[in-house]
Amino acid sequence: MILKREAPPTTVIWSDALLEYRFSETHPMDPVRLDLTVRLARGLGIWERESLTVVEPRLATVDELATVHDRDYIDAVRRVSADPSAPEPLLGLGTEDNPAFGGMHEAAARLAGASILAADAVLEGRSLHAVNFAGGMHHAGRAAAAGFSIYNDAALAIRRLLDGGLERVLYIDVDAHHGDGVERIFWDDPRVLTISLHESGISLFPGTGFANEVGAQPAAGQAVNVALPLGTDDAGWLRAFHAVVPQLAETFSPEAIVSQHGCDGHVRDELTNLRLSVDGQRQNMLDVRDLAERLCGGRWVALGGGGYDAVGVVPRAWAHLLAIASGAPVPLRTPVPQEWLDYVRERYGLEAPVGMSDGVELWWRSWEVGYDPGDAVDRAVLATRKEVFPLYGLDPYFD
């Protein structure tokens, strides 16, 4: 007999005000990707599910932002926000990646506040799952903006969970870019395990996230990095995830998971060099959900992140995320609603994919099958396992 999975109560933080996080007309991080995600989720019937509650975001307060950012930096963001003609490039404000714009502080603080609300929903037991797909700004550091990120909402969500009484939080980052800002903020905090799977810094910004970057005492081994070679496809990416993440997660025994689901590793994304499909990204979302169910009573905060094919990839990937979080994954064979396709064509003059799948054959080899020293992905995985697994009493070759 097949038991039906009960739909978990799920909070989604959203309002059109989140579209105000926009650097310029030509910046790669175009908030149209968020609008199209909502429209697609509505067209697929996800938005109206009984298990899903939509909550409007609020601005994070200065005191809340100061739990992970220096107050001098917050003051600088506010100054540049009020007068974009006076950038502070040494703090990453008014650079090519992070152009200054009027209202920048408010837009970034709202995005940060959305992730804090997501953490609150899980922490207070109102939801098992919470999603802020507008979030995932994982590059911002304590005292500087970087990589399209002004305030680090992922770190703020983790901090909220810790301040609310949790003792162990697992952060999983599968964006194509290294989750450097979150890692550094919790570099020496033994309550947080950060695991980032990303394209190697040899070929991609921010140039960090190598296997030997493992954190500092008293948290040595709690920064985990899998630096994958350019061209890694679904099979290699999922093999790497399953060869590293479940083993460390089980040993760490988290009380909640915060995950960042940047979908810029897709083969269509022009800013990265991985070759993933929406099918592979959807499978990874299922894997993270299953870890949360198995290890921490289902407590899961899911964030967005990178993703720069605003029509062909992001809406489908994050609609899958919303569907999985709210208890009923959208089958891969599902067609994209014609109304949504017509809207994209009429509004943007573009032809979008007609299905929720990329039509790939999804498979991967288990690590237990054996290690191939001639395979670049296997070498990356083994480098990480050799650096970190012994610190957890695990064998890098067999566990």
What is the C-alpha to C-alpha distance for residues 15 and 132, in angstroms, rounded to an integer?
Answer: 11
What is the C-alpha to C-alpha distance for residues 136 and 41, in angstroms, rounded to an integer?
Answer: 19
Residues 6 or more apart whose CB falls under 8 angstroms from that of 186 comprise 155, 158, 171, 192, 194, 219, 222, 223
* Closest residue by Cα to residue 43 from 347, 338, 333: 338
For the CA atoms of 273, 360, 43, 11, the dihedral, rounded to the nearest 10 degrees, stands at: -70
Paired tokens of 394? 């695990």
Omega of the bond prior to 206 within 30 degrees of 0, cis?
A: yes
Omega of the bond prior to 218 within 30 degrees of 0, cis?
A: yes
* Gyration radius of the chain's alpha carbons: 20
Longest Cα–Cα distance of the chain, Å, equals: 66
Residues 6 or more apart whose CB falls under 8 angstroms from that of 235 comprise 363, 364, 365
Catalytic residue positions, numbered: 139
β-sheet bridge partners, residue 149: 146
